Amino acid sequence: MRSGAIHRRLAPVLAVLTASGLLAAAPVQAAEASALCPGRKARTLPFSTGSVHVYKRGDYVCAVTLAKNGGVKRQMSVSVQARGGRPVVDEGRFAHHAGPVTVHVGRRCVWVRGRAGADSVSSGWILC
Protein backbone atom coordinates (compact mmCIF):
# COMPACT_ATOMS: atom_id res chain seq x y z
CA MET A 1 0.00 0.00 0.00
CA ARG A 2 1.33 3.42 -0.92
CA SER A 3 2.12 6.05 1.68
CA GLY A 4 -0.62 8.41 0.41
CA ALA A 5 -3.32 5.76 0.89
CA ILE A 6 -2.21 5.15 4.46
CA HIS A 7 -2.38 8.85 5.29
CA ARG A 8 -5.88 9.14 3.79
CA ARG A 9 -7.11 6.23 5.90
CA LEU A 10 -5.46 7.39 9.11
CA ALA A 11 -6.47 11.06 8.88
CA PRO A 12 -10.10 10.58 10.07
CA VAL A 13 -8.98 8.30 12.90
CA LEU A 14 -6.41 10.83 14.10
CA ALA A 15 -8.97 13.64 13.89
CA VAL A 16 -11.42 11.73 16.10
CA LEU A 17 -8.73 10.84 18.63
CA THR A 18 -7.49 14.44 18.80
CA ALA A 19 -11.00 15.85 19.24
CA SER A 20 -11.88 13.35 21.96
CA GLY A 21 -8.69 14.22 23.83
CA LEU A 22 -9.49 17.93 23.71
CA LEU A 23 -13.05 17.37 24.88
CA ALA A 24 -11.92 15.16 27.74
CA ALA A 25 -9.61 17.86 29.19
CA ALA A 26 -12.40 20.18 30.43
CA PRO A 27 -14.12 17.63 32.74
CA VAL A 28 -10.72 16.65 34.16
CA GLN A 29 -10.06 20.26 35.20
CA ALA A 30 -13.46 20.54 36.90
CA ALA A 31 -12.98 17.23 38.69
CA GLU A 32 -9.49 18.24 39.84
CA ALA A 33 -10.78 21.53 41.26
CA SER A 34 -13.69 19.90 43.09
CA ALA A 35 -11.30 17.38 44.64
CA LEU A 36 -9.17 20.22 45.99
CA CYS A 37 -11.95 22.42 47.41
CA PRO A 38 -14.93 21.23 49.46
CA GLY A 39 -18.43 22.60 48.92
CA ARG A 40 -20.53 23.63 45.96
CA LYS A 41 -19.12 25.43 42.95
CA ALA A 42 -20.01 29.11 43.22
CA ARG A 43 -18.12 30.57 40.24
CA THR A 44 -15.66 29.81 37.48
CA LEU A 45 -13.49 32.72 36.35
CA PRO A 46 -11.94 31.80 32.98
CA PHE A 47 -9.00 33.59 31.36
CA SER A 48 -6.74 32.80 28.40
CA THR A 49 -4.16 30.66 30.24
CA GLY A 50 -6.40 29.00 32.84
CA SER A 51 -9.34 29.43 35.17
CA VAL A 52 -10.10 30.05 38.83
CA HIS A 53 -12.69 27.77 40.42
CA VAL A 54 -14.48 29.17 43.48
CA TYR A 55 -16.34 26.95 45.95
CA LYS A 56 -18.49 27.85 48.96
CA ARG A 57 -19.20 25.69 51.98
CA GLY A 58 -21.02 27.23 54.91
CA ASP A 59 -19.14 30.36 55.95
CA TYR A 60 -16.00 29.44 53.96
CA VAL A 61 -14.87 30.16 50.41
CA CYS A 62 -12.18 28.10 48.70
CA ALA A 63 -10.46 28.88 45.38
CA VAL A 64 -7.95 27.17 43.12
CA THR A 65 -6.29 28.33 39.89
CA LEU A 66 -5.94 25.66 37.21
CA ALA A 67 -3.62 26.07 34.23
CA LYS A 68 -5.21 25.47 30.84
CA ASN A 69 -2.19 23.43 29.67
CA GLY A 70 -0.77 21.60 32.67
CA GLY A 71 2.58 19.91 32.89
CA VAL A 72 4.94 22.86 32.38
CA LYS A 73 5.92 24.80 35.48
CA ARG A 74 4.98 28.46 35.31
CA GLN A 75 4.34 31.30 37.73
CA MET A 76 0.86 30.81 39.18
CA SER A 77 -1.16 32.28 42.01
CA VAL A 78 -4.58 32.34 43.62
CA SER A 79 -5.90 34.64 46.34
CA VAL A 80 -9.16 35.09 48.21
CA GLN A 81 -9.89 38.17 50.29
CA ALA A 82 -12.96 38.64 52.47
CA ARG A 83 -14.13 42.26 52.60
CA GLY A 84 -12.37 43.95 55.50
CA GLY A 85 -9.69 41.23 55.72
CA ARG A 86 -6.31 40.47 54.23
CA PRO A 87 -5.97 38.23 51.18
CA VAL A 88 -4.90 34.62 51.61
CA VAL A 89 -2.46 33.85 48.79
CA ASP A 90 -0.74 30.82 47.30
CA GLU A 91 1.85 31.68 44.66
CA GLY A 92 4.87 30.05 43.10
CA ARG A 93 5.98 27.97 40.12
CA PHE A 94 3.47 25.17 39.61
CA ALA A 95 2.75 22.73 36.79
CA HIS A 96 -1.01 22.24 37.27
CA HIS A 97 -2.63 24.37 39.96
CA ALA A 98 -2.12 27.04 42.60
CA GLY A 99 -4.03 26.61 45.82
CA PRO A 100 -6.38 25.75 47.23
CA VAL A 101 -6.79 28.70 49.58
CA THR A 102 -9.68 28.90 52.02
CA VAL A 103 -11.03 31.93 53.89
CA HIS A 104 -13.73 32.34 56.52
CA VAL A 105 -16.08 34.91 55.02
CA GLY A 106 -19.26 34.68 57.04
CA ARG A 107 -21.69 36.86 55.08
CA ARG A 108 -19.04 39.17 53.61
CA CYS A 109 -18.23 39.63 49.93
CA VAL A 110 -15.00 38.16 48.57
CA TRP A 111 -12.47 39.26 45.95
CA VAL A 112 -10.80 36.41 44.05
CA ARG A 113 -7.68 36.73 41.89
CA GLY A 114 -5.82 34.15 39.83
CA ARG A 115 -2.79 34.04 37.54
CA ALA A 116 -1.28 31.35 35.32
CA GLY A 117 1.73 32.46 33.30
CA ALA A 118 1.23 35.75 31.48
CA ASP A 119 -2.53 36.22 32.02
CA SER A 120 -4.70 36.73 35.09
CA VAL A 121 -8.24 37.35 36.29
CA SER A 122 -9.72 39.48 39.08
CA SER A 123 -13.34 39.06 40.13
CA GLY A 124 -14.25 42.25 41.90
CA TRP A 125 -16.48 41.85 44.96
CA ILE A 126 -18.60 38.71 44.49
CA LEU A 127 -20.76 36.30 46.52
CA CYS A 128 -22.26 39.15 48.54
Q: Give the number of domains in the chain.
A: 1
CATH of the domain at 25: 2.60.40
Domain assignment of residue 24, given as a range? 3-126
Q: Average pLDDT of 42-57?
A: 97
pLDDT digits (tens, 9 = 90+) for 54-108: 999 999 999 999 999 988 999 999 999 999 999 999 999 999 999 999 999 999 9
pLDDT above 60 for 25: no
> Which residue type sits at 123?
S
